[in-house]
Amino acid sequence: MGDRKRRGGGVKRFFGTALLPERRRAAPQRHHELREETLRNQAVASDPNLSVWVSANAGTGKTHVLTNRVLRLLLAGTAPERILALTYTKAAAAEMSKRVFQRLAEWTTESDSDLSSKLTELIGRNPSPEEQRHARQLLARAIETPGGLKVQTIHAFCERLLKRFPLEAAVSPSFTILDDQQRQLLISQAVDAMLGAATADKSGALWAALETAIAYAVDGNFERLLGEALRLCASQKAAPGCELPAARGPLRSLLGVAQDATQIRLTSALANVLSEGMLPDLMTALRQGSTTDQDRAEDLARARAASTAEGRAAAFESLFLTQGKATRARLFTRDFASAWPQLATELLSAQVRFVSLHKEQQALTVVEATLALERLSTDVLARYAAAKARLAVLDFDDLVAKAAALLQSSAAVEWVLYKLDGGLDHILVDEAQDTSPVQWQVIRSLAAEFFSGEGARDQARTLFAVGDEKQSIYGFQGAAPSMFAAAGNSFAAAARQAKRAWQQ
């Protein structure tokens, strides 16, 4: 086939490129130039001999280009079962499949002249008689070929992979998939079991974590807080437990909290930013000033009268901070500063110390709440994982995580890639900005042989991805838009190492 003649391996990359004409008024000449540029971009993006990384805005024809690329791959002689097109939703997969099969169906009934015209528009040259005959046969071939054309979500692909290699993936051969309602029921049961275990041993670490988390929950919204922690944990890994960056030492260092800091020590330090001996002089001087200065004197009076460190720290907080917890910009009047410069300096120095300690205490609160939620989430997810194992079920996060582990397992990866190596020549990824890190692991493993070793054969084997970081809407499911560019850079490095062309 004509498109098959060139040796594969060239990789082109586009960022911010329009794939369809801009929908706005333009001078006729400019409009013509834009259309010509668009057609050139579309032709390159759909070239079956090139690996292409496309960043394009919404409404610029991404689905159109994906459809054309699949059609050109088929027309070039690629077997349908050697193409894997991954989309983010079932609706997107259905839409792409519909477009491909609709075009293939049209080719079977077109007149010779109409078919020739449409193929010319698709491949950028006049098709040969052999290509026209081949085009008319593609619909039947795509329908009848075992395995068929794979246009599916990454979850559907991972499910299929695990069904094919259950022993290697260490999953039950008869596993079923939890729907959202079933998943929520099992998690609720795991949460109830965790709460029961915590209350049964009020001297244990689980109860301590529960008390801490509840104490820090805003407006008593503990259930939502725990739910968010569970979602975050589940998006990071499928194995029981969660490894948030919540190890005590690293998290304290990250947030600027001393390793030996405790709430009691910090409260005591906050309560003593001004010595007891300084308070009478400050109060006397401030009471001689304006209303603002007199208000500060009352804060100091409350601090002096407080019987606990907590009460004194609260009074100093009213003195040094605003109600919004910001540093008070006008601690005293100019007249006070002029009349009592040494006392003014003492007050300002105390405010600096208080603000620093207050920030550290707030950071410590974050550390303690995070550690508490990490412990609770780990317990809940372990119970949830045990329940799934008993019932031989997996959730959608499990599908991707276990597929990624399978493709990276030293014991099984060679066998799995050997079986897949003969079955995949081209991978297309739609809405790549919504791909999570673990999903990129799956794609990276599948495409690893495209650019290395025996897999880097003369026959064109390509990778195509299209996305727009600004359009990412699935962050709550673990999507990492920044990974789109990072993955492109990773594949670029692999292509260069394999001495394949890469055009930036």
Ramachandran category for residue 188: left, alpha or beta (phi over 0 → left; psi -120 to 50 → alpha): alpha
Tokens of 136: 């008319």
pLDDT at 476 over 60: no
pLDDT digits (tens, 9 = 90+) for 168-198: 999 999 999 999 999 999 999 999 999 999 9
CA angle 100, 104, 110 (to 5 degrees): 140
Quick check: 405 and 369 in contact, CB under 8 A?
A: no
The domain ranges of the chain are 50-175+407-498, 180-245+372-393, 263-364
Query: Which of these ranges, 152-161, 199-208, 449-458, has the smallest mean pLDDT?
Result: 449-458
**CA–CA gap between residue 175 and residue 391 (Å, rounded):** 8
pLDDT digits (tens, 9 = 90+) for 391-450: 999 999 999 999 999 998 767 777 787 776 556 889 999 988 888 888 999 998 888 777
pLDDT digits (tens, 9 = 90+) for 313-359: 999 999 999 999 999 999 999 999 999 999 999 999 999 999 999 99
Max intra-chain CA distance, the chain: 103
How many of the other CB atoms lie within 10 Å of CB of 249?
A: 8
Q: Between residues 41 and 430, which one has the greater pLDDT?
A: 430
Instruction: Measure the N-to-C terminal CA separation of the chain; round to a whole number of Å.
Output: 28
pLDDT at 471 over 70: no
**CA–CA gap between residue 213 and residue 201 (Å, rounded):** 17
Tokens of 119: 């193929």
What one-character DSSP code corresponds to residue 14? E
**CA–CA gap between residue 157 and residue 294 (Å, rounded):** 71
pLDDT at 264 over 90: yes
Confidence of residue 265 (pLDDT cuts 50, 70, 90): very high
Confidence of residue 17 (pLDDT cuts 50, 70, 90): very low
Residue type, 297: A
Instruction: Give the DSSP H or E segment for 463.
Output: strand 462-467
**CA–CA gap between residue 438 and residue 435 (Å, rounded):** 8
Three-state SS for 51-75 is EEEEECCCCCCHHHHHHHHHHHHHH
Residue type, 215: A
Quick check: 434 and 398 in contact, CB under 8 A?
A: no
Confidence of residue 8 (pLDDT cuts 50, 70, 90): very low
pLDDT at 5 over 50: no
**Span 363-373, average pLDDT:** 87
**CA–CA gap between residue 120 and residue 127 (Å, rounded):** 6
Query: Which of these ranges, 74-83, 318-327, 335-344, 368-377, has the smallest mean pLDDT?
Result: 368-377
User: What angle in degrees, to the nearest 10, is found between the helix axes of 129-144 and 62-75?
Assistant: 100
306-315 long-range contacts, Cβ below 8 Å, gap at least 24? 306/271, 309/267, 309/268, 309/270, 309/271, 310/267, 310/271, 312/270, 312/271, 313/267, 313/270, 313/271
Residue 477's pLDDT is what? Answer: 56
Quick check: 233 and 244 in contact, CB under 8 A?
A: yes
Quick check: 492 and 15 in contact, CB under 8 A?
A: no
Residue 374's pLDDT is what? Answer: 86
Residue 172's pLDDT is what? Answer: 94
In three-state secondary structure terms, 11 is strand
Closest CA to 149 of 221, 83, 228: 83
| Most confident listed range (57-71, 119-133, 212-226) | 119-133
In three-state secondary structure terms, 214 is helix
pLDDT digits (tens, 9 = 90+) for 217-243: 766 677 887 887 787 766 655 433 445
Instruction: Measure CA 155 to chain center.
Output: 16
Residue type, 362: Q
Percent of the chain at pLDDT exceeding 70: 81
Whole-Å CA distances, 99 to 20, 140, 357: 17, 16, 62
Q: Between residues 257 and 243, which one has the greater pLDDT?
A: 257
Whole-Å CA distances, 121 to 3, 43, 114, 115, 339: 14, 9, 11, 10, 86
Architecture of domain 50-175+407-498: 3-Layer(aba) Sandwich (3.40)
Q: Between residues 116 and 367, which one has the greater pLDDT?
A: 116
Residue 461's pLDDT is what? Answer: 81
Report the length, in residues, of the chain: 504
Query: Which of these ranges, 26-30, 59-63, 292-296, has the smallest mean pLDDT?
Result: 26-30
> Which residues contact residue 160 at a Cβ distance below 8 angstroms, ignoring those fewer than 6 apart?
152
Residue 15's pLDDT is what? Answer: 42
Burial bucket for residue 420 (CB in 10 Å: 0-12, 13-18, 19+): middle
Burial bucket for residue 313 (CB in 10 Å: 0-12, 13-18, 19+): buried
Instruction: Give the DSSP H or E segment for 1.
Output: none
What one-character DSSP code corresponds to residue 317? H
Mean pLDDT of the chain: 84
